[in-house]
Amino acid sequence: MTKKAKVLKLTADDEEKELEFELDYLASLTFEERFKMMREKSREMLKQMIEHGHRRPFEIIKRA
Q: What is the mean pLDDT of each run of 10 residues along the chain (64 residues)?
A: 77 93 92 95 90 72 71
Cα–Cα dist 49/53, whole Å: 6
According to the model, what pLDDT value does residue 5 have? 78
Residue 8 C-beta-side C-alpha neighbours within 13 Å: 15
Task: Say which residues have a Cβ less than 8 Å from residue 26's Cβ, sequence separation at least 6.
Answer: 34
According to the model, what pLDDT value does residue 21 have? 94
Cα–Cα dist 55/12, whole Å: 40
Say if pTM beats, i.e. exceeds, 0.75: no
